[in-house]
Structure 1
Amino acid sequence: MANNINLQVYHGVEATVNAYIFSDNESVILVDCLRNSDEASKLAAQIKSLNKPLTHLFITHGHPDHYTGMHVMKQEFPDVQIVVNTPEIKEDIINFSTWMESVGWLEKEPALKPKTDANPNGFDYQANIDILKRGKLVLAEGAEIEAFSNYEAAECEHLTTLYSKDLKAFFANDFVYNGVHPWLAIDTQNIQNWKQQLEEFAHVLEQDLTIYGGHGKPGDISVFNTQLKYINDFEAVVAEAKSREEAMQKMQELYPDYTQADFLLVYSVNAFVAE
């Protein structure tokens, strides 16, 4: 018998990144919290409209488009527990935030600047982020969402996927960008790991699952092969392109309906094609 669990997908505008709101009659769990505070505030308002306590904010990995809204959620829901699946993901978040402050990237998000002796009012990442116990998120009425982080470095160094038996859903997070140009400004070994993991997902997961990616709309099991084809096409294009402009043009011709060409695709191409 299925447990009571509902899902709302919040499609962010910046970076086309998703947040996931799980709820039952008594509680809410949020997975990821968008790339900027303005959108996170709108997300918080949607959660408040459910009139149930937000018990957990789960962050899937240490890229800021998935955790920038943390301080907003902590302000709006003081009792929320912010959790990640492994200590390594917590360190990824701390290290990325520290680096962003060092290069001035947090001037638009000053509340995310890490707490230090020089900045005692900063965000206390060490104190505010806990490690999830037993690899499961549990709603008040008992529905479980399983978390898995035993993957090789791919789109990022450490990434969590989620599975809900009750929803018949797998949350591939940033292994899948559905209709969105993926972040490929990564090591070539990471790309190979990513491709291998996509092949494994396509073969071992139940064929009737709904697949939710970190970016873009949900799909069926075919999204893994679609993502794999995109990565193969990208590798072929950047290997042959004589310029960044040529690579950009070719990828946009191959994927004319994909979003984030002016952000995610640009950085990916720049990582592999010399000026």
Structure 2
Amino acid sequence: MIPFYILFVTLLNSVRSSSAITIGSVTVTQIRDATAPNQNSNAYVVTSSKVREGFLVDTGVTNSTTSKLISVYQEQVLSTTKPPKFVFVTHGHPDHLGGIALIQQVYPTTPIYVITQQVAKEAVQWMNFSCTNGFSSAAQCAVNYSKVLRVLTSPRTQLAFNDRYAQINAFSVIVKGESSYAGLLGVTVASKFYWLFTGDAISILSHLFISNFFDNQILPASDDALCAWAGNMQASVCELQLSRREPKIFPGHGPISDVSSYEKDVARNVAWLRSIRNLTFNSCNKTYISDEMLRIFPEFGQTNFASIGALNMHVPADANSVGCNCTNDSPTICPVYHAPPTCMHLDINDTDTTLACSMRSTVWWPKGILKWILN
């Protein structure tokens, strides 16, 4: 047993745009893109000073971010040749996959895992889409993702980590947002603490993608899935409040969150979802919607929200579906207001957590995760 628990946060310089948390012998370092830390995806290094080994969670999208990820890993394991035990990719978005090309170049033997075959399939679809449209580099597009991405079949042995004070768990989730399938990675440290890597299932201070892009290429007939996503985020707050451990949330976008700030982070995410679906039900103008979202949520920092296509296929239903007769982004606002479908998790007041907590069993918070957190 570790005789006492030491928790400290070391903020590295802004050039490195990373922060580290160490508990006992285990350190997790968040690597952020210095040019747009709340917009571009995060990547993580987890290492042990006891056994000098580690693993990576997601890969970043730019070479500078991935190079930083590799550099921090090498510094912490005191080796430029010892490969990471594995890479866990939370979901199939290109901004979380983009560093695979460089990681494979440096560490060709390191296995790269996803939680399910659905995640692997979506990753291939997304990279094909990104490469076809010129969003990814030649090196990123040269990777055969269908072969490189391995589906977890035996997490206990595949997610091996030889520091006995850290236990790793992987959970499958369905996020009917831009990525329909995703995985959460949990690390219990020294029995008292746990870290949860959420990918885009929960982001902090970064806009949420909300489409079923690869399900059928059309907008869904209802936003039941969006409603369930909001319910899941609310339910996760309840799980943390019930837990017997001290949690840290490591999101796919934005800064690290803890139990004291996480409830506010989730409430802000739910408010964001509520606002954007109100706007997209009643406006045909993406620029107007983007400007309004930035006005309401300026701290989310997505200044290029409209230009990157984040409102193309990213809404649960559009103004056309409620008879707004959109033509060439007009009208800006529908002449008659249409309320989105009723959703218990989006219609309740932000401060009312009673309903969300009582509904925990009805949303898709992964089975088994509560048992893991509480034990």
Q: Paired residue for 1:47?
A: 73
> For residues 303 and 290 of structure 2, what CA distance do their matches in structure 1 show?
8
Q: 145, 155, 175: which is aligned to 2:168? A: 145
Q: Paired residue for 1:76?
A: 106
> For residues 83 and 211 of structure 1, what CA distance do their matches in structure 2 show?
21
Counterparts in 2 of 1:193-272, with a 5 A limit? 193-206=228-241, 208-220=246-258, 221-222=262-263, 223-241=265-283, 243-263=285-305, 267-271=309-313, 272=318
How far the C-alpha of 1:238 sits from its partner, in A, is: 2.6
SS at 2:124 equivalent: helix
Contact 1:33 1:40 in 2 (8 A): yes
Percent identity of equivalent pairs = 19
The aligned amino acid for 1:253 is R
Contact 2:114 2:149 in 1 (8 A): yes
Q: Paired residue for 2:133?
A: 103
The aligned amino acid for 1:169 is W
Structure with bigger gyration radius: 2
Distance 1:36 1:216, change over 3 A: same
Q: Paired residue for 2:146?
A: 126
Contact 1:182 1:265 in 2 (8 A): no
SS at 2:253 equivalent: strand
1:179 aligns to 2:205 (yes or no): yes
* Per-residue Cα deviation, 1:249-274 (whole angstroms, up to 9, x for no partner): 22111111212230478634344465
SS at 1:215 equivalent: coil
The aligned amino acid for 2:235 is E
How far the C-alpha of 1:7 sits from its partner, in A, is: 0.7
* Per-residue Cα deviation, 1:74-99 (whole angstroms, up to 9, x for no partner): 11122311111112212222222233
> Unpaired runs of 5+ in structure 1?
114-121
The aligned amino acid for 1:21 is V
Give RMSD over aligned pairs.
Answer: 2.5
Contact 2:177 2:209 in 1 (8 A): no
How far the C-alpha of 1:147 sits from its partner, in A, is: 1.0
Q: Paired residue for 2:61?
A: 35
> For residues 62 and 247 of structure 1, what CA distance do their matches in structure 2 show?
26
> For residues 265 and 147 of structure 1, what CA distance do their matches in structure 2 show?
35
> For residues 225 and 211 of structure 1, what CA distance do their matches in structure 2 show?
15
* Per-residue Cα deviation, 1:131-188 (whole angstroms, up to 9, x for no partner): 2243353322232221111435334111111222214222222122211222234453
If the length of structure 2 is used for normalisation, what is the TM-score? 0.64
Contact 2:168 2:185 in 1 (8 A): yes
The aligned amino acid for 1:59 is V
Which segment is superposed worse, 36-45 or 184-193?
184-193
1:191 aligns to 2:226 (yes or no): yes
SS at 1:163 equivalent: strand
If the length of structure 1 is used for normalisation, what is the TM-score? 0.85
1:89 aligns to 2:127 (yes or no): no
> For residues 250 and 195 of structure 1, what CA distance do their matches in structure 2 show?
21
Contact 2:61 2:96 in 1 (8 A): yes
Q: 32, 43, 57: which is aligned to 1:11? A: 32
Distance 1:237 1:33, change over 3 A: same
How many pairs does the alignment contain?
265
The aligned amino acid for 1:138 is A
> Unpaired runs of 5+ in structure 2?
3-23, 213-219, 320-325, 330-375
1:61 aligns to 2:82 (yes or no): no
* Per-residue Cα deviation, 1:7-59 (whole angstroms, up to 9, x for no partner): 11111245321111111132110000111233212322222222253121111
